[in-house]
Structure 1
């Protein structure tokens, strides 16, 4: 039998809601994927070098492999794919290109720009061992190079290709569907009387990409309980975002829809400003649903509070710690709710940028973080910083 969800009468603390959202998700199953498909995913096992890199001594410069001191007699040339024709002995040199395997007997590489060539004679100043990439200089066989939990980025892909690996075991990026509701919303041009230009829909794909998720095409719905029910049931995603239907007004159908679907309501309002009427639920099949308020800045706060921790856990990552910064001049606190204030972070701390109403995005667009101002009676002189870019590392970490 379906549970009837009333309007929230109690709210979790902001920290409690964030922690509950992270705990509610379950890391996605590990998959072995081609390295071309691993970008943005999280390593599920360490990357271990299968062999030495480089596997042989290689030249680090275009020039001449030499043995002993100058001058040298030139006895051949080696390309990257070629093998050394001879073993060098004292007084001999061999032309090489960057990356070429060095002939046995090489004591140094003389760069082209430092070489004086006269027929088959080469001279120049060298230092023993200079410009030689030694066997195993980058890594040795069996060495752990990257721990499990590392986020795969393009440089990681280059490294694993260098190692000769073709696949990686990863926790894949979660799939997220976004349902944007509201009869009043328009998607192009200036809003007319009684209509509002949708600002949440354009934000979500970029926010999801930065949080390490894969965004499905945004679905736009009227204020219809039946259509919301159908869309929630049909969403092929690990997490579903619903904006504009999370409060308790006559057009807010999220909680009744969740009740009809026998969802488990995990967060029913959060004691924060803005973003109080946000919600988190788990459907019987395990999918998570996050309810975002309809006001744009409030929706952004809810996304950072509930959606990002859930995505982080789905990716198999820990909940990031937030570092504190001083607040020059102090910030006013709310008596019972956490304030989320757009700030710019500078050498002297966090400064508010203003324009922080729940319907405003001007402040957030100028800011690089939200100051998390805990409730209390006195002005706050420090606050934790919540990055507005979900993929950014917190300051000082």
Structure 2
């Protein structure tokens, strides 16, 4: 593995304020290279170039309803039928009609579409049963060629997230593939010899509460493939696993090991693989030991604390902005909400607190908001961002929303 050139060394941000850390994580990275991808695989990706209509939508004048295409006045002589996907029939003569299905191309000469519930057949032909509709020359229930888009129109702009409706629109415009920023491949390494992955923990052991979450968080952030492994708390074990994962991963995410305790090896491993720490701790509670490092070959390491709520707060602080940058997306926007009660910040740092909304629409911190707890976060719509000097009841504060 190549080592970053000493000329690239920059001074890390040491315990920056929370807003600065979040912006720095987003500014650190640029979008991953663009690839062409089938529509069936592109949901959740971000467009690297605009998507054009390859043909008009619809491609021909078509019926918006089941019924009859008619020309002239009632009664009409029914001369055939046109189904969706079939060849356009011959032009309609004055006083004639054809049965037609929704989406079928209208025969030339069609003046109106009579809905199936608006007409009836008898011995004299097709009669209008709802007086006044349709009138010859009316366009109700007819979709003109190019009504939604003309050939060459921009359907989707570069930088747009490909949602299911966006995928459908690209397909409607005749596109089979799209040019998107490559999905981010992530490897999650859960550190901690005290952790167990099944059953009830005994004395001195802790049930892993982060491993089950991380792939779901990353899915909500629209990453690509995610691998999750549990790694022993040894320098050699962590280093070997990171070295192996960097063969394919764009981002390494670790939980635990980011402080300076006797079994915290993240810093040493970052140095061993030639990485540069860009953010070394953040002035926020919980989650202050979080780190962001740039690794060789434009890869990244986000180190989350081991306590569950602290790790989730760090994930939203550093990992979410980094992922947005790698995917070509803007920094996720904060929301705003009034506080229901006074909230203090004894540490003098920003606080990120799970909250609940009162019936009046103001926010109150949840109980069970300690750094090792998840009970408050499990039912919270996000995290309140309390400034270092606290906030008073009625004050409008930022909210870091959940990504789902």
Give the TM-score range, shorter chain.
over 0.9
Are the equivalent residues in 2 in contact too, given 1:10–1:268 (CA < 8 A)?
yes
Distance of 2:291 and 2:39 partners within structure 1? 36
Task: State which of 378, 387, 394 in structure 1 corresponds to 2:401.
Answer: 387
Distance of 2:94 and 2:225 partners within structure 1? 63
Moved more, 374-383 or 113-122: 374-383
Deviation digits for residues 178-215 of structure 1 (CA, Å, limit 9, x no counterpart):
00011100000010111000001111000000011124
Which residue in 2 is equivalent to 1:305? 317
Distance of 2:250 and 2:13 partners within structure 1? 28
Q: Which runs of 5+ in 1 are unaligned?
A: 393-397
Task: State which of 99, 105, 113 in structure 2 corresponds to 1:101.
Answer: 105
Which residue in 1 is equivalent to 2:389? 376
Distance of 2:93 and 2:362 partners within structure 1? 64
Indicate how the Cα distance of structure 1 residues 371 and 297 shifts in structure 2: closer, same or farther if over 3 A, else same.
same
Distance of 1:25 and 1:84 partners within structure 2? 53
Indicate how the Cα distance of structure 1 residues 185 and 53 shifts in structure 2: closer, same or farther if over 3 A, else same.
same
Q: Which runs of 5+ in 2 are unaligned?
A: 7-11
Task: State which of 274, 284, 291 in structure 2 corresponds to 1:262.
Answer: 274
Which residue in 2 is equivalent to 1:200? 210
Indicate how the Cα distance of structure 1 residues 119 and 171 shifts in structure 2: closer, same or farther if over 3 A, else same.
farther
Q: CA deviation at 1:100?
A: 1.0
- TM-score where L is the length of structure 2: 0.91
Q: CA deviation at 1:263?
A: 1.2
Task: State which of 327, 331, 356 in structure 2 corresponds to 1:319.
Answer: 331
For the aligned residue pairs, the C-alpha RMSD in angstroms reads: 1.9
Are the equivalent residues in 2 in contact too, given 1:335–1:376 (CA < 8 A)?
no
Indicate how the Cα distance of structure 1 residues 81 and 119 shifts in structure 2: closer, same or farther if over 3 A, else same.
farther
Which residue in 2 is equivalent to 1:359? 372
Indicate how the Cα distance of structure 1 residues 261 and 82 shifts in structure 2: closer, same or farther if over 3 A, else same.
closer
Task: State which of 72, 82, 87 in structure 1 corresponds to 2:86.
Answer: 82
Q: CA deviation at 1:168?
A: 0.2
Which residue in 1 is equivalent to 2:9? none
Within 5 Å, give how 1:207-246 maps onto structure 2: 207-235=217-245, 236-246=248-258
Indicate how the Cα distance of structure 1 residues 146 and 120 shifts in structure 2: closer, same or farther if over 3 A, else same.
farther
Which residue in 2 is equivalent to 1:47? 51
Are the equivalent residues in 2 in contact too, given 1:74–1:120 (CA < 8 A)?
no
Indicate how the Cα distance of structure 1 residues 314 and 156 shifts in structure 2: closer, same or farther if over 3 A, else same.
same
Are the equivalent residues in 2 in contact too, given 1:208–1:215 (CA < 8 A)?
no
Helix, strand or coil: the match of 1:331? Answer: coil
Are the equivalent residues in 2 in contact too, given 1:326–1:349 (CA < 8 A)?
yes
Deviation digits for residues 58-117 of structure 1 (CA, Å, limit 9, x no counterpart):
111111101122111111111223334432133111111111111111111111122110
Distance of 1:9 and 1:36 partners within structure 2? 41
- TM-score where L is the length of structure 1: 0.93
1:30 and 2:72 matched = no
Helix, strand or coil: the match of 2:211? Answer: helix
Within 5 Å, give how 1:286-301 maps onto structure 2: 286-301=298-313
Moved more, 68-77 or 290-299: 68-77
Helix, strand or coil: the match of 2:389? Answer: coil
Distance of 1:269 and 1:290 partners within structure 2? 11
Indicate how the Cα distance of structure 1 residues 281 and 320 shifts in structure 2: closer, same or farther if over 3 A, else same.
same
Paired residues, number: 386
Q: CA deviation at 1:119?
A: 4.3
Are the equivalent residues in 1 in contact too, given 2:155–2:170 (CA < 8 A)?
no
Task: State which of 159, 162, 166 in structure 1 corresponds to 2:169.
Answer: 159
Moved more, 77-86 or 287-296: 77-86
Which residue in 1 is equivalent to 2:64? 60
Distance of 1:213 and 1:353 partners within structure 2? 30
